[in-house]
Amino acid sequence: MQVTHKTYMKEVVLVSRNGEEFPISTELAKISPIIKADIEMSTSKSNKPVVIELKEIESNVLSKVIEYLKYKYEYTKNDDEYNEDADDIPAFDIPVDMSLDLLIAADYLNI
C-alpha cells in the first residue's frame, strides 16, 4: 500500500531543529506516542495543521524518521497480531553515518 497525502484528511507539521517543515498525516504522526500526546494536547480545533517543533532533531534525521513512520505504517499490523507476511517485509535502510542520530531520535520519539 502506497502512503499518499490523499489518504488522510488532517496533517501535522513537524519542524526540525533548523526550521525545515515536514507535513505528514496525523495518522502517521500518531505512531509516535510523544507526537500523539502533543497532538492531543493541541487546542487547535480549526482545519489548520498542528505544528510540532522537534528542536532536538536535524532535518536530515527527521526526514529519515518520517520515512520510517511510513515504513512502519505500511509493513506492520496491530502489535497484538502475528504478521504472517513478516518474511516478505523488506529491511529498512539505515545509513551508517546516521545510526546514532536516528537511535537518539527514535528513543526520544519512542518509536
For 28-65, write each residue's pLDDT tens digit. Answer: 999 999 999 999 888 656 667 899 999 999 999 999 99
What number is the average pLDDT over the span 74-80? Answer: 69
C-alpha cell at 37: 500526546
pLDDT at residue number 13 = 96
CA distances from 44 to 14, 52, 57 (A): 15, 12, 24
At residue 4 the predicted structure's pLDDT band, cuts being 50, 70 and 90, is: very low
Examine the pLDDT at 75 and tell me if it is beyond 90.
no
Residue 100, judged by CB atoms within 10 A of its CB (0-12, 13-18, 19+), counts as: exposed
